[in-house]
Amino acid sequence: MSRYLFAKKRAIRVVLWGCLIFVVMWSFGPILFVIVSSFKFPRDIFTVTPRLFFTPTIYNYRQLIAGWPDFWSSLLNSTLVTFGTCVLMAVLSCPAAYALSRMRGKAISITGLFLIIIRMFPPIVVSIPLYPVFTFIRLVDTPWSLILIFTAFEVSVTVWILKAFLDGIPKELEEAAWIDGCSKLRAFLYIVAPLLAPGIVSAGVITALYAWNEFMFSLVFTSIRAKTAPVVISEMLSAVTGVEWGPVFAAATLQLMPALLVIWAGQRYLVKGITLGGVRE
């Protein structure tokens, strides 16, 4: 019987490991293909027999520099938009999440429900009425238009994420600070905010990835000066002269690297934040 149980556990372990490896390869395989292909000559990218061993080259990156100078300015625009969205998100989401977590009442509940409803609208539905408004106030084709729109869409998610973290922070810590003479603002800044840091980082990572990769709003509200990297990559895929896959893969690799670095840098806070956010009284 013990041998049977041992064999059964071993078989289950092998199946689980097989499923895990399959999921990892299914998810990471396309990313690896893009990165590897960016260092191949165009003639070697789509060969019938894939070439696993090849001499790396930066030919595609040189072609990207020569043929698509707009891509580099679009990376800068993406950086500005992502940074601005994260900052504005933190400024708006922290007080809103604090209100949802600490205050009670019908109006607060309705406000929280309204935040969820906003996130349910498709981007194209929101773009139609916003475009003439942004045109009138001269925000079209500026980074500010994307910062405002991205923040409006993501704040509904980040508020609820931060509320979950705040629910796990005992209110007694604030009450003790109030008794010692701290105002509510000072208690929040010096007591709650440090404990909320993992949640802010987690929400910031989610917001940064959304702002960095978002395409629909960027396509509608930008044209020349404020184009982001996803928009330029889409233009490369629809070029009149045909798709040059080498530069496309090079551009996709450069656009992908910052997102991977953000996830890698914030993974410790994400894990800690998930643990903190799961605490309930």
Asked if 143 and 268 sit in the same domain, the reply is yes
Residue 47 pLDDT: 78
Burial tier of 79 (Cβ tally within 10 Å: 0-12, 13-18, 19+) = middle
Task: Let me know whether 14 and 107 are in one domain.
Answer: no
The verdict on 76 and 29 lying in the same domain is: no
- Dump pLDDT digits (tens) for 66-83: 888 889 999 999 999 999
Instruction: Tell whether the model's pLDDT for residue 52 goes beyond 80.
Output: no
Residues 172 and 238 in one domain: yes
The domain in which residue 7 lies consists of: 2-37
Examine the domain organization and report whether 151 and 26 are in the same domain: no
Torsions phi, psi for 128 (to 5 deg):
-60, -50
Q: What is the reported pLDDT for 277?
A: 47
Answering whether pTM is above 0.95, one says no
Amino acid at 268: R
Report the CATH number that the domain containing residue 252 is assigned in CATH.
1.10.3720.10
Burial of 6 (0-12, 13-18, 19+ CB in 10 A): exposed
Q: How far is the C-alpha of 163 from the C-alpha of 97, rounded, in Å? A: 5
Do residue 187 and residue 117 come from a single domain?
yes
**Digit-coded pLDDT (tens) for 237-264:** 887 667 888 899 999 999 999 888 888 8
| Calpha distance 213→119 (Å, rounded) | 17
Site of tokens 């982001």: 228
Residues 206 and 261 in one domain: yes
The per-residue pLDDT for 240 is: 65
pLDDT at 274 over 60: no
Q: Which residue has the higher pLDDT, 3 or 88?
A: 88
What is the predicted pLDDT for the residue at 112?
Answer: 74
Look up residue 34 and give its two tokens. 């893009």
Please state the domain count of the chain: 2
Q: pLDDT (tens digit, 9 = 90+) per residue, 190-238?
A: 888 888 888 888 888 889 989 999 998 998 898 888 899 999 999 888 8
Say whether pLDDT at 98 is over 90.
no
Helices and strands: H and E segment counts in the chain? 13, 0
- 144 in Cβ contact with 182 (< 8 Å): no
